[in-house]
Amino acid sequence: MEEIKKPDVINQYTGEKWYYSDIVKEHFFKPRNLLLEKPAREDEFDAHGIVGSPACGDMMEMWMKVDPGTERVKDLKWKTFGCASAIAATSMYSVMLTENGGLPIAAALKIRPQDVMERLGGLPARKVHCSVLADKAFLKTANDYFRKTGQNHRVIVSGSRVVDSRFNITDKDIEEAVLEGARTFEEVQQKLKVGVGASDGVRTDVEALIRFYSEKYYG
């Protein structure tokens, strides 16, 4: 692991080193399963999803073909507007879902960003949010498939819960702040640019969410 983590990019504003692994570079320069031509017919793919990341402004679009008998992912194509790690993470994600005959959708939905990062040989901590996008785009694509095949009960709704009603701050906002690098209550406040959690109850709730998402993505 240490061997492949050679620093080769230094942020000119912060001087911070980025440790992109050789696998990340390989997938950045030669992305797998990239959609080269827009689908000629609308029904060429069985499902489609598009998602944007408010954290950094990246955007991703995904197209999927499914084997109707086994529900395995036969083909997963994508395009992304994002940095090298977003491109590499999506490429790797598409490989993981389609290799060895393809994963069944139910199993594919269980692939976590950490699993992708592990296959990539790691990503710098502040780049973790780039790998979350593929995951979210796939969720939308899978939901599109469920709807198109009349399996509405399988649609996964990731509703958000308001934690601070004064500013309408939701658990999703806290998740985004953690993905952007916030680890403490004060850092989350800074990211959200509002004084979230005025009362002790709200503060405790926010702190619990910070622990939960830190554990989820970085634990």
Residues at the site binding other proteins, with contacts judged by CB under 8 A:
6, 8-9, 11-14, 16, 22, 25-26, 28-31, 34, 36, 50-61, 79-84, 86-87, 126, 129-130, 136, 158-160, 168, 170, 172-173, 176, 180-181, 192-194
Q: Nearest-CA neighbor of 20 among 12, 102, 11?
A: 11
Catalytic residue (one of 117, 130, 133, 142): 130
Q: How far is the CB of 9 from other proteins (least distance, A)?
A: 7
130 belongs to the catalytic site = yes
Residue 128 burial class via C-beta count within 10 angstroms: exposed 0-12, middle 13-18, buried 19 and up: buried
Q: How far is the CB of 77 from other proteins (least distance, A)?
A: 11
Catalytic residue (one of 56, 73, 177, 178): 56
Q: How far is the CB of 204 from other proteins (least distance, A)?
A: 22
Q: How far is the CB of 89 from other proteins (least distance, A)?
A: 12
71 or 176: whose CB is closer to other proteins? Answer: 176
The 3-state DSSP class for residue 40 equals coil
81 or 218: whose CB is closer to other proteins? Answer: 81
Instruction: Tell me the C-alpha distance between 16 and 111, whole Å.
Output: 30
The tokens 């990019």 sit on which residue?
Answer: 9
88 or 103: whose CB is closer to other proteins? Answer: 88
Instruction: Tell me the C-alpha distance between 197 and 206, whole Å.
Output: 7
56 belongs to the catalytic site = yes
Q: Nearest-CA neighbor of 33 among 85, 86, 82, 97?
A: 97
30 or 211: whose CB is closer to other proteins? Answer: 30
Instruction: Tell me the C-alpha distance between 154 and 73, whole Å.
Output: 16
Q: How far is the CB of 20 from other proteins (least distance, A)?
A: 8
Strands (E) in the chain, as ranges, are 9-10, 17-18, 47-52, 59-66, 73-81, 162-164, 169-170
The 3-state DSSP class for residue 49 equals strand
50 or 111: whose CB is closer to other proteins? Answer: 50
- Active centre residues (catalytic): 56, 130
